[in-house]
């Protein structure tokens, strides 16, 4: 029974990994652009949720909406002020621009919030429930279920809506999309907004269950890259499956071997899988 509880916990954690990683794979699929500041967007979502709770007294329903809107507009602003310009430059400029943005966001958070770990005050999500003899913390349960739902919604947005068709058209051929009356800059700004919003919501959900500090973005950014590479760059369903797999592997390895070994196991299996299938689970060869 304890192992089942560990497996369920791993799936719920993996669902959150899938949500913030889907934003990173969206940017890659749209623009062949790697955002090294993606983990910092997750971190900003956590602090934004904290500020809403502390300053406004809002609960999860309130800070979820606030974080989604705040990170969406921040993603659009980052695209308009930085990304749109470096896209015309060499690959090295693209890499260094988001790496510099990550450092700026991280050390600004250190300056404002200090390096101490913080956590959200108790909300109506606090506590645990018994599900068939398995005790599950309510924050992890709600966060995991909501994360997997939002990941599916993002996939449906890309594949079942007019906006998604325009986003994919720009991803396939920017010039042809322009001839069809689609404005690539507007679509790419929307993609950055959606990507940042997904990362921020995932961060807010993580904040309900785990303490954090400004350096947490580095950890989440690395996990996001592993998830995206494992699932296949540009594939939202691939990111969802890979996130769930990595969450399971981390939980099981921590249970059997100890917490300090969970990342070693994940990265070792990740390296082996990419050696056997470099394009990832659902990527194109």
Q: Is residue 63 part of a domain?
A: yes
Helix ranges (DSSP H) in 114-173: 138-160, 162-172
In a domain, 30, yes or no: yes
> How many percent of the chain have pLDDT more than 70?
96
pLDDT of residue 284: 62
Q: What is the residue-averaged pLDDT of the chain?
A: 85
Give domain status of residue 251, yes or no. Answer: no
Within a domain: 201: yes
DSSP 8-state secondary structure symbol assigned to residue 120: P
Reduce the DSSP state of residue 134 to 3 states and report it: strand
> Would you state the pLDDT for residue 125?
65
- Residue 135 phi/psi, 5-degree rounding, is -85, 120
Distance CA 26, CA 38 (A): 12
Q: What is the pLDDT of residues 55-81, one digit of tens each?
A: 887 777 788 889 999 999 999 999 999
Residue 283's pLDDT is 62
Q: Is 170 exposed, middle or buried (0-12, 13-18, 19+ CB in 10 A)?
A: buried
Report how far residue 108's alpha carbon sits from residue 241's, in angstroms, rounded to the nearest whole number: 34
- Bridge partners (DSSP) listed for residue 128: 137
CA–CA distance, 135 with 121 (Å, rounded to integer)? 21
Furthest-apart CA atoms within the chain: distance in Å: 59
User: Among candidates 253, 276, 256, which has minimal Cα distance to 266?
Assistant: 253
In a domain, 116, yes or no: yes
Matching residue, tokens 């990683």: 21
- Which has the closest alpha carbon to 155: 8, 13, 1, 23? 23
User: Is 264 within the bounds of a domain?
Assistant: no
Task: For 226-270, write each residue's pLDDT tens digit.
Answer: 888 888 877 888 888 889 999 999 888 888 888 888 888 888 887
Tokens representing 5 are 């509880």
Q: What is the pLDDT of residues 2-30, one digit of tens each?
A: 778 888 888 888 998 999 888 888 888 77
Quote the tokens at residue 133.
């003899």
pLDDT at 78: 95
Asked if pLDDT for residue 126 goes beyond 70, the answer is no
Angle ∠(232,31,24) on CA atoms, nearest 5: 50
Q: How confident is the model over 148-207, as pLDDT tens digits?
A: 888 888 888 888 888 878 887 887 777 777 877 788 888 889 999 999 999 999 999 888
Instruction: State how many domains the chain has.
Output: 1
Sign of CA dihedral 87, 92, 93, 97: positive
Residue 183 belongs to some domain of the structure: yes
Rounded Cα distance between 19 and 67, Å, is 14
Q: Which domain holds residue 11?
A: 2-216
Count how many residues are written for the chain: 285
* Backbone CA torsion sign across 249, 254, 259, 265: negative
Helix axes 162-172, 184-207, angle to 10 degrees: 110
Q: Is residue 252 part of a domain?
A: no
Residues 6+ apart with CB under 8 A from 253: 261, 262, 264, 265, 266
């Amino acid at each position: 029974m304890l192992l089942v509880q560990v497996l369920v916990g791993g799936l719920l954690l993996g669902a959150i990994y899938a949500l913030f990683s889907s934003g990173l794979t969206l940017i890659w699929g749209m623009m062949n652009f790697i955002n090294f500041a993606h983990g910092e967007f997750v971190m900003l979502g956590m602090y934004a949720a904290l500020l809403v709770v502390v300053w406004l007294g809002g609960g999860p329903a309130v800070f979820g909406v606030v974080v989604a809107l705040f990170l969406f507009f921040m993603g659009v602003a980052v695209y308009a002020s930085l990304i749109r310009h470096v896209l015309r430059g060499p690959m090295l400029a693209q890499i260094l621009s988001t790496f510099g943005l990550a450092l700026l966001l991280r050390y600004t958070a250190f300056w404002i919030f200090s390096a101490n770990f913080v956590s959200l005050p108790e909300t109506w999500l606090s506590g645990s429930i018994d599900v068939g003899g398995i005790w599950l913390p309510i924050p992890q349960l709600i966060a995991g279920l909501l994360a997997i739902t939002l990941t599916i919604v993002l996939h449906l947005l890309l594949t079942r809506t007019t906006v998604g068709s325009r986003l994919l058209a720009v991803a396939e051929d920017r010039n042809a999309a322009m001839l069809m009356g689609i404005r690539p800059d507007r679509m790419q700004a929307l993609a950055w907004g959606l990507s940042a919003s997904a990362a921020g919501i995932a961060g807010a959900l993580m904040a309900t269950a785990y303490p954090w500090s400004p350096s947490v973005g580095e950890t989440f950014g690395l996990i996001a890259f592993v998830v995206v590479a494992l699932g296949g760059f540009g594939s939202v369903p691939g990111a969802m499956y890979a996130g769930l797999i990595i969450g399971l592997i981390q939980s099981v390895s921590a249970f059997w071997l100890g917490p300090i070994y969970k990342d070693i196991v994940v990265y070792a299996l990740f390296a082996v899988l990419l050696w056997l299938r470099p394009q990832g689970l659902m990527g194109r060869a």
